[in-house]
Amino acid sequence: MQPIIDLDNLSVTLGKRPILKNLKVELTGRAIGLLGPNGAGKTTLIHTLLGFYPINQGTARIFGQDIRVAPKKIRGLIGYMPERDAFIDGMSCIQFIQMMGELSGLPSDIALERAHEALFFVGLGEARYRSIDTYSLGMKQLAKLAQAIVHGPKLLILDEPTNGLDPPTRQRMLKLIRDIRDTNQVNILLSSHLLRDVEESCEEILILKDGRVATYCDLEAERKSNRKFLEMETFGNNLIFGQAIAKLGCEYALVGEKRIKIILQDGVEVGDLYKIAAQYELQIRRLNFKRDSLEDIFLKAMEDK
């Protein structure tokens, strides 16, 4: 499978200070979350992929195209939603989106048609003739998403798309992102400091720390690869139950007479525990099942590198 983004020993120095340091990773997911603490290099990486910053060493490829060799062609494949507003005073939203479509290479009539479609998709169809100056913060964020998709990009780069949004508008934005992802026609790179947004929208994550790759992984696969922790509330002989679980190779700890904590090992599933419980006539009255959250993975990446 050809990677969506291929970082090949990518290094970028700004003002004699190294910002990105030998990034080497192939990004292949439909929706990839870009994470890292402040100063990790997230924005610099995005701006480098867009051709704003020169490369000091190595390169990056988008859909196999080298960003040093074919920057204009690559920009035609990308839709970019910046963190900061970049609107033109006094311009209606439909005019702005049409102009952005034209700047992406669309003929004027097609750009206008696509602008209407994009604004109805994000929910601004009724307000498309209003000046963007009159828009609320949430509406401006939706307008930025519309201009990023108007030309039908293959890669959508979103920089803090839910920044400053109230809960209902945030959920609306995340649903739009998931809808775009689920078309299987557009790949997404989403940069956010909100772990929950990434967890709700992305399948894979790239975590940067101090300009280097700290972690790149499939989110669900990473969760499953970690040890599984269970806490049960039971009725019956917990001691015998625990001893039987230990024979499967699992660690356990008794908490009073009615609770037991268990760490499942590879090859042992929850169904196996129910079989043992039935064998020893023990009732499992409550079960809490926890796998590593994105926060756990993020914090582990910060500790390990």
pLDDT at 263: 82
CA separation for the pair 87, 132 (Å, rounded): 8
Q: Which of 45-49, 70-74, 106-110 has the lowest mean pLDDT?
A: 70-74
- Phi, psi for 294 (deg, rounded to 5): -60, -35
Per-residue pLDDT reduced to its tens digit, 157-189? 999 999 889 999 999 999 999 999 999 999 999
What is the helix (H) or strand (E) element at residue 46, kind and residue range?
A: helix 42-49
pLDDT at 112: 97
Q: How does DSSP classify residue 126? A: G
Q: What is the mean pLDDT of the chain?
A: 91
pLDDT band at 225 (very low <50, low <70, confident <90, very high): low
pLDDT band at 123 (very low <50, low <70, confident <90, very high): very high
Span 71-76, average pLDDT: 88
CATH of domain 227-291: 3.30.70.270
Would you kindly state where each structural domain of the chain is located, as residue ranges?
A: 5-222, 227-291
- Tell if the pTM clears 0.85, that is, is over it: no
Span 230-258, average pLDDT: 87
pLDDT at 224: 60
- The structure tokens 């009724």 sit at 126
Contacts of 126 (CB under 8 A, 6+ apart): none
Per-residue pLDDT reduced to its tens digit, 130-162? 999 999 999 999 999 999 999 999 999 999 999
- The structure tokens 């009615």 sit at 258
pLDDT at 301: 80
CA separation for the pair 90, 150 (Å, rounded): 21
Q: Judging by DSSP bridges, how do beta strands 155-159 and 187-191 pair with one another?
A: parallel
The structure tokens listed for 17 are 């200070």
pLDDT band at 93 (very low <50, low <70, confident <90, very high): very high
CA separation for the pair 272, 275 (Å, rounded): 5
The architecture CATH gives domain 5-222:
3-Layer(aba) Sandwich (3.40)
